[in-house]
Structure 1
Amino acid sequence: MTTLSQPASNGALATAWARVWRSRRLVERNIMVYRHQWIIILSGVFEPIFYLVGIGLGLGAIISEVPLANGQVVPYAAFVAPALVATAAMNGAVFETIFNVFFKLNYAKTYDGVLATPMGITEIALGELLWALMRATLYAVAMFVIMFFMGLILSPLGVLMIPAALLVAAAFAAAGLAGTSFLRTVNDFDVPMGLIVMPMFLFSGTFFPIEVLPSWLVSVIQLTPLYHGISLIRGLSTGIVGFEQLLSLFYLVAFFAICLWIAMRQIERRLIK
C-alpha cells in the first residue's frame, strides 16, 4: 500500500508544480503589459502613503494616542499605519483581479487564446493570482519601509507583517477572481467597489477602533476579511498577538481557499460551458 501511494503522491506533486510553472507565462505576460503602464503601479504605491501622511499624521496631531483592545495605548499614526498595509494589500489584489481580469474575460478575450495553449483553467487562476500577489506585495512592502523609517513598527514581530500582508492579498485576490466572474457589464463594478470594498476600508478599524461603533455593527464588521487582515497585521506591528490574531489567521486561510474554489468553478463555467 505504501509502495503504491508514494508514486501517486509524487505524481500529484509533479502535476501541481507543472501547473504553477505553466502559470508563470501569464505572469510574464502581465509584466510585459505593465512595462508601458508603470505609472498605474506607482500610483498604487503612493496611495496608502498619502493616507498615512494626510490622516495618520494630520489627525495624529489632534488625536495623539489610541487605546487598543488590551488597554495598551499607541500613537495614532502607529495605529493607522498597519491598517494601511492591510488595505494596500487588499486594493492591489482587488483592483487587479476585478478590473483587469474582467476586461480580459469579457472584452479582450485573453483567456480564450490562453486555452489554446497547454494552459488550462487552473493555470489561468493561478497566474492571475500570482500576479495580483506581486502587485499587492509591492504596495505592502512600500508601506512597511515607510513605517520602519518613521518608527511606527513597535515590535520585532513587525517583520512578519509582510507574509501577513501576502496572506491578506491572497485572500482578496481569490475573492476578486470569484467576484469578477459574476460581473456582466462595467456598471456592475459599483457593487463590489462601492458597496463592499469602500465600506470595509472605512469601517474595519482602519482609522478608529471598531469598539466605538454600535455592537450590532461591530458584529457585522468582525465577519469581514479586511477586519481580520487589519487585526493580524496591527497585532504583529504592536506586538499584541493572541487568540484574536490566531483566529484571523485561520479565517483568512479559509476565506482564500473557499474563494479560490468558487473562482475556478466560475471561470470554467464562463470559458468552457
Structure 2
Amino acid sequence: MPGPAAWSLFLQRLTAHRHYWRSSAIGSVLEPVLFLAAMGLVLGSLVDRGPGVPGGVGYLAFLAPGLLVAAAMQTATGESSYPVLGAIKWDRTYEALLATPARPVDLVAGHLLYVAFRVTTSAAAFLLVLLAFGAARSPLVVLTVPVALLTGLAFAAPVTALAARLEEDAAFAALQRFLLVPMFLFSGTFFPVEQLPAVLRGIAYATPLWHGVTLARDLALGTAEAGPALLHAGYLLLWTAAGAVLAARALTRRLVR
C-alpha cells in the first residue's frame, strides 16, 4: 500500500491539476471523442457498407473501446514524461520531497496514484460518450475503465523510468514519433492485427496497447473469456511492476546522495 509520502505527492499533483483541468480535458477526452465521431461514424459508415470487420460487428462498436484504451495510453505517457523530468530537473519537487522521510519508491507510488486518477476520470468520461453513441454491446463495457487504468499504468511506469534517466527532453519527441504513434496505428485500435504481415503481427502482440485494446474490446462486445482476459491483465500488470521497479532505481541513482 502507498505510504503517507506517496499520498502527499498525489495530493500535491491533484491540487496543481485543479488549475489546468479544463485544458487537460481537451487532450484526454475531447480529442478522442472527436476522433471517435469522425472515424466511427463517418469512416465507419463506409466500412460497414463493405465487408466490415470480423464477426459482423459495426465499425463504431469495434473502434470505440480501442480508442478509449489508446487515449489512456496517451494520457499516462503525457503525465509521465515532461512532468517527471520537470519534477527532477527544473522544479526540483522530487529533491525537496526526498529531504523529508520520503523515499524514491514513494515518489513512484505517488506519481502512479496521480496517473491512475487522471486515466480513470478520463476513461470514465469517454465511457459515457461511448454509451451515448450506442457503441456498447454488453454490460461488461463498464470494465473497460479498469482496463484503461491497467493499460495507462503499463505505460506510465516505464516512461517514468525513462524520464528519470534523461537530461534533456528531446527523447520524448522520439518516443512519441517512433513508439507511441506506431502502436496507436498498428496495435489493433483501428483494424484487426491479423491483417498485418506476420512479423508486424508478432510485434503488435508484444505491445501493452494490443493487450489493453483486445481486452477492452472483448468486454465491450461481450466476447471476453476468463483465460485470455487474465493473460491480458497479467501482461499489463507485469509491465507496470517492471516499470515501477526501474523507475524507483533510476530515481535512487539520480537523486539519493
TM-score (norm 1): 0.88
User: In 1, are the aligned partners of 2:95 and 2:255 still within 8 Å (CA)?
Assistant: yes
Aligned length: 253
Q: Evaluate the alpha carbon distance shift between residue 127 and residue 211 of structure 1 in structure 2; reply closer, same or farther with a 3 A threshold.
A: same
- The residue aligned with 1:141 is 124
- The residue aligned with 1:8 is none
Task: Give CA deviations for 1:61-104 in whole Å, capped at 9, x if unaligned.
Answer: 21117434xxx221101111000111111111110011211111
Task: Give CA deviations for 1:15-56 in whole Å, capped at 9, x if unaligned.
Answer: x45x1x331111111122222222332212212101101111
User: In 2, are the aligned partners of 1:45 and 1:138 still within 8 Å (CA)?
Assistant: no
Q: Report the Cα distance in structure 2 between the residues aligned to 1:167 and 1:34, rounded to whole angstroms.
A: 21
- The residue aligned with 1:99 is 82
Q: Report the Cα distance in structure 2 between the residues aligned to 1:174 and 1:188, rounded to whole angstroms.
A: 16
- The residue aligned with 1:10 is none
User: In 1, are the aligned partners of 2:53 and 2:59 still within 8 Å (CA)?
Assistant: no
Secondary structure at the counterpart of residue 223 of structure 2: coil
- The residue aligned with 1:36 is 19
- The residue aligned with 1:265 is 249
Matches within 5 A, 1:16-27: 16=1, 19=3, 21-27=4-10
| Structure 2 portions without partners, runs of 5+ | none
Find 1:247's aligned residue among 206, 231, 234: 231
- The residue aligned with 2:141 is 158
C-alpha deviation, 1:182, in angstroms? 2.6
- Supply the RMSD in Å over aligned alpha carbons: 1.5
Q: Report the Cα distance in structure 2 between the residues aligned to 1:29 and 1:190, rounded to whole angstroms.
A: 27
Task: Give CA deviations for 1:106-126 in whole Å, capped at 9, x if unaligned.
Answer: 111111111112222111111
Find 2:158's aligned residue among 135, 157, 175: 175
| Structure 1 portions without partners, runs of 5+ | 1-15
Moved more, 33-42 or 167-176: 33-42
Q: Report the Cα distance in structure 2 between the residues aligned to 1:237 and 1:139, rounded to whole angstroms.
A: 17
Letter in 2 for 1:49: V
TM-score (norm 2): 0.93
- The residue aligned with 2:45 is 61
